[in-house]
Amino acid sequence: MDAFIVTASDLSKQLIPILGLTVLIILIVLLAKLINLVKTVESTVKRTDNTIDLVDQSLTKVQAPLDTVVKVSHTVDKAHDATVKAVVETKEYLSKNAENIKSKVKDVADTLVSKTKKEPKEPSPEDIIGGK
């Protein structure tokens, strides 16, 4: 058993530097790939920054027309509200004064009918000759 431990000790003395070197090489490769990844991410972020700047400029250009559309929309809303109010007030006025309006229209109609019955129109010479 002592011979086994001595042999294992000699073997481990030879393998430890080889394994250490292997792990060191793997770490160097991993570090190199990590550096490349960071460079790629950095260039992608720079391009994204430029794109975001362009989008921001486009949004700034579009903001003024959008403000105009909002103002027009508010104006249309106000016009609609005023129209609705006028229609409602007219309806209420007509409802409250329906009898008065009806009697006025009847009086005017009766007056027109009585005038046409009382004063028959005689044809003028121009009507007979075919003038105007």
Q: What does the pLDDT read at residue 50?
A: 86
Tokens found for residue 114: 């009585």
d(C-alpha 105, C-alpha 118), whole Å: 20
Q: What does the pLDDT read at residue 20?
A: 93
Name the residue type at position 47.
R
Please report whether residue 56 resides in a domain. yes
Please report whether residue 123 resides in a domain. no
Please report whether residue 24 resides in a domain. yes
Please report whether residue 46 resides in a domain. yes
Q: Mind listing the pLDDT tens digit for each residue in 84-107? A: 999 999 999 888 888 888 888 888
Task: Write out the residue range of the structural domain in which residue 55 sits.
Answer: 2-105
Q: What does the pLDDT read at residue 90?
A: 93
Please report whether residue 87 resides in a domain. yes
Please report whether residue 19 resides in a domain. yes
What pLDDT tens digit does each residue of the chain (132 aa) get? 889 999 989 888 999 999 999 999 999 999 999 999 999 999 888 888 888 988 999 988 888 898 999 999 999 999 999 999 999 999 998 888 888 888 888 888 888 877 776 555 666 767 667 655
Q: What does the pLDDT read at residue 33?
A: 97
Q: What does the pLDDT read at residue 110?
A: 84
Q: What is this structure's pTM?
A: 0.42
Please report whether residue 120 resides in a domain. no
Overall domain count for the chain = 1
Please report whether residue 47 resides in a domain. yes
Q: What does the pLDDT read at residue 123?
A: 66
Q: What does the pLDDT read at residue 22?
A: 95
DSSP summary character for residue 46: H
| Phi, psi (deg, nearest 5) at residue 25 | -65, -45
